Amino acid sequence: MGHKYEPLVLAQLLPQLAEEIARRLAEDAEGAEFAPQVPTLRILSRCGCKEPGCASFTTGARRSGKHPTPVRTIALFSTRRGMSDIIIDVVEGKIVNVEILDRTDIAAVLDEAFAKLRAGTA
Ligand SMILES: [Zn+2]
């Protein structure tokens, strides 16, 4: 058998970010119903855009094909200095993508975690 794939749990890898996302969702009229999902979100893949500071990641599958499922986008704008806007995509009631730009600190944690996963040492 090959390497066992252990998905990365957002709340374990980036607990402060998970808290931040959950708090901002809870405070958002549209996002509040999705806040309870945050503790169980798994980081499935990184955004492939290679933009410096892009810390976006997927947490679920977006169905493609003939009938692509509609995506609901929830923008959580930052009201604090030093905090980025966070854009959440929801498909069929599940958070499938988290977009975070200009956060090299988070991007570095994700880079390291995925490098370990690829090396099989996570
Ligand atoms: Zn990106």
Provide the residue range defining the domain that includes 85. 8-119
Give a yes or no: residue 36 inside a domain: yes
Q: How many domains does the chain have?
A: 1
Give a yes or no: residue 2 inside a domain: no
**Model pTM score:** 0.88
Give a yes or no: residue 1 inside a domain: no
Q: Ligand 1: distance of its center to the CA of 27 in Å? A: 25
Contacts with 7 (C-beta within 8 Å, 6 or more apart), sequence order:
42, 43, 44
Tell me the C-alpha distance between 108 and 98, whole Å.
16
Q: Ligand 1: distance of its center to the CA of 1 in Å? A: 33
Give a yes or no: residue 12 inside a domain: yes
Q: Ligand 1: distance of its center to the CA of 101 in Å? A: 7
* pLDDT by residue, tens only, the chain of 122 residues: 445 567 799 999 999 999 999 999 999 999 999 999 999 999 999 998 989 999 999 999 877 777 778 899 999 988 776 678 999 999 999 999 999 999 999 999 999 999 998 887 65
Give a yes or no: residue 57 inside a domain: yes
Contacts with 12 (C-beta within 8 Å, 6 or more apart), sequence order:
none
